[in-house]
A and B are shown apart, each in its own frame.
Chain A
Amino acid sequence: MVFPLQVTGAETRRRGKVLVGPVSLHLAGVGATVVIGPNGSGKTSLLGLLHGTARLHAGTIAWQLPMDQARAVQSFVFQRPVMLRRSVVDNIAYPLLIRGLPKAKAMAQALDWAKRVGLGDMPYRAAPSLSGGEQQKLALARAFITAPQVVFLDEPCASLDGRATAEIEAILQDQKAQGTRLVMSTHDMGQARRLADEIVFLRGGQVHETGPAAQFFDAPQTDAARAFLNGDIVE
């Protein structure tokens, strides 16, 4: 198990500008952590930092495994899904093929996952030709097929309609119930309430408030969190 995760004073910069940090967090091994905060508050940067794809300029990120091994049991679903120029099943099978699984086996599993996320009737379509919602579902299938311990999701339902969002949330709930640890960002407070066990509220690249979801939504501790939940503009 790669959890618990201990983050201490972690920071990532770009050309001298701090994108997020210093951040200190402790993430335990179960449930869903939802990162919220205004646009540009550093949600994407924080997820990348935890996943090890954003450069760590200061502080430490301590999984129970070395960073590269930790990443092998993680998946990342991007804010803008990346579609390989291949068919739907070839996309979903890709992480298995990378891990050296025999092609036939990988394809069978990929087809299975395509059905589970509702892409069963278009397994050989070119992935880049899918709609936004379908691409996001493909990205989910590709993320979950390796049975990762942690899945990072960066606004997985941004720009999707209510129905697509509900379908994706159902997949996420299902995976969560099976013990996959979710760490996701969203700007949809309804979604945060439905999925989160724990909230990390970012503001200006820093963790402004964090705690159990129920507590955060019922009794936010800071003015900024209260204002943000009210839908007021928070810088």
Chain B
Amino acid sequence: MVDLWDGLTQAFWLVLTGDPELAEIALRSLYVTLTALAIACVIAFPLAAFLAVRRFRFRRLIIAILNALMGLPPVVVGLIVYVLLSRSGPLGVLGLLFTPTAMIIAQVIIIVPLIASIAHQSLRDLWQEYHDLLISMNVSQRQKMRTLIWDARRALLTAALAGFGRGIGEVGAIMIVGGNIDNVTRVLTTAIALETGKGAFALALALGFVLIALTIAINLTIHWLGQTEREGRW
């Protein structure tokens, strides 16, 4: 039985000595999740704004589905993406299975509903506030969406952070579609799973601490970037 202290010291040494393998894995984690996050935001924000400003027949249904998809089991997403990308699958010709791109695709699917749902909440509230003014000004649908997204940017940042959290800590889907291949698709979470399986608890714990530190660092950075526009002054 190892204790947490072993993990912590090992994490400390790994970071301090600039372990190249650790750096590679950590960077790949960041690359996969940040790319997925950027793509997810580009999809989720306009979708959320559209659902906020546009009345149409299945709007409520779509919102309900989106909310339900927030709890989408990553393993199932991974499985579906695996089937789609596998050599005999409909997208097999692209040869994406077991690449970081496949992992990004899976993560985008997992975090879009989360970001879109959270974003929709705040954009809908803002739309309540703005509705009369923007209608009076004959503002086009596109301009409405742009205005809402821009003016709600802080709330959207929070939505993005939630998406980042879900993505960076996710293991089920990327394990399946990435395959946890050394030097190719291994990331922090899959490495932790692997080391734990091998019984290398201290190393697994060390990687875990690095993951947590990374998550906190990214959150603080983004939070700080958001704070540069201080309250009360724009």
Contacts and interface: CB of A to CB of B under 8 A. Distances in A.
Nearest to B155: A85
B130 A95 contact: no
Scoring A53, A84, A85, A129 by chain B CB atoms within 10 A of each residue's CB, the highest score goes to A85
A98 B137 contact: yes
A71 B234 contact: no
Contacts, number: 47
B151 A95 contact: no
A126 B136 contact: no
A86 B234 contact: yes
A62 to B, nearest CB: 19
B127 to A, nearest CB: 12
B216 interface: no
B132 A82 contact: yes
B129 interface: yes
A78 B234 contact: no
Contact of B147 (A84, A124, A129): A84
Given A72-B138, A84-B151, A125 B233 contact: yes
B51 to A, nearest CB: 20
Interface string B141-153: 0010001000110
A15 to B, nearest CB: 17
B47 to A, nearest CB: 21
Interface residues of B, number: 18
B139 interface: yes
Q: Is the interface of A mostly helix, strand, loop or mixed?
A: mixed
A78 B137 contact: no
A155 interface: no
A90 B137 CA distance: 15
B151 A85 contact: yes
B136 A75 contact: yes
A175 interface: no
B194 interface: no
Interface in A31-58: 51, 53
B133 interface: yes
A76 B136 contact: yes
B129 A98 contact: no
A82 B133 contact: yes
B234 A53 contact: no
Given A72-B138, A98-B139, A53 B132 contact: yes
Given A71-B136, A98-B143, A126 B129 contact: no
A109 interface: no
Nearest to A85: B151
19 contacts: A68-B138, A71-B136, A72-B138, A75-B137, A76-B132, A82-B129, A82-B132, A84-B133, A84-B151, A85-B126, A85-B152, A94-B147, A98-B137, A98-B138, A124-B233, A124-B234, A125-B233, A126-B231, A129-B232
Interface of A: 51, 53, 68, 71-72, 75-76, 78, 82, 84-87, 90, 94-95, 98, 124-126, 129
Given A68-B138, A82-B133, 5 more contacts: A53-B132, A53-B136, A82-B129, A95-B137, A98-B139
